[in-house]
Amino acid sequence: MRRLPALAAVVLCASLGTSHAQDNIPQPPPQPPEAALAQAAESKPIPQDGYTAQEIVNVAGNFFGGASEGLAKVIERVFKQQGKPVAYITGEEASGAIGVGLRYGRGTLTYPDGGNMPVFWQGPSIGWDFGGNASKVFTLVYKIQNTHDLFQRYPGVDGSLYLVAGVGVNYQRAGEITLAPIRTGVGLRAGASVGYLHYTMKESWIPF
């Protein structure tokens, strides 16, 4: 019976020692709220219901400042060839080339459920692209299951450029994923641009 207090003291000391040792174990630094939000958005599954053609015409028209006949025809053509987009990107880009050039852009990826996140893109362009310009671009996004699927290189599909009434679209493709950037006015780059664009979560000035 006399050993119980001594045993209790040993157990208490051991418990305190274990607790103290656990307190000394280094803990990972807390993740910044912005990083946590970006990580959550990157892994976010995207609803696959997609947008209707009329929804895209309305959104694109508001983005460009008016739903022209040319814009409606371009969107109609893309829907006939690709179907409903599961997301879209509204953004601006700067580019210019006579032979070989560069293109940089930033925008917002938007999902049908109202979610969105910032995206960036950069890359070389090859061909007789006219003008150094800064312009708006509205990109339809096809066949991505999660946001992180977007972040890769997309070569331009040669011969996919389609122009009508001051509005143009071409396709960029990586595996099953297709992007259809739509440009108007000064943003048109009438030529055989067969470079690629690299879409990223963070802004980068390295195009390669």
Cβ neighbours of 149 (radius 10 Å)? 16
- The residues that bridge with 49 in the sheet, in sequence order, are none
Residue 13 lies in a domain: no
Given this model, what pLDDT does residue 132 score? 56
Given this model, what pLDDT does residue 19 score? 43
- The residues that bridge with 153 in the sheet, in sequence order, are 198
Given this model, what pLDDT does residue 129 score? 53
Residue 28 lies in a domain: no
Residue 91 lies in a domain: yes
* Residue 96, amino acid: G
Q: Which residues of the chain have pLDDT under 70?
A: 1-44, 96-100, 125-133, 186-194, 205-208
Give, rounded to a whole angstrom, the gap between the first and last alpha carbons of the chain: 78
pTM of the model: 0.74
Question: Tens of pLDDT along 33-87?
Answer: 444 444 555 566 887 889 999 999 999 999 999 888 999 999 999 999 999 999 9
Residue 14 lies in a domain: no
User: How far apart are the C-alpha atoms of 165 and 178, rounded to whole Å?
Assistant: 24
Residue 146 lies in a domain: yes
Residue 58 lies in a domain: yes
Count of domains for the chain: 1
Domain that holds residue 173: 39-200
* Residue 161, amino acid: L
Residue 206 lies in a domain: no
Residue 33 lies in a domain: no
Cβ neighbours of 96 (radius 10 Å)? 15
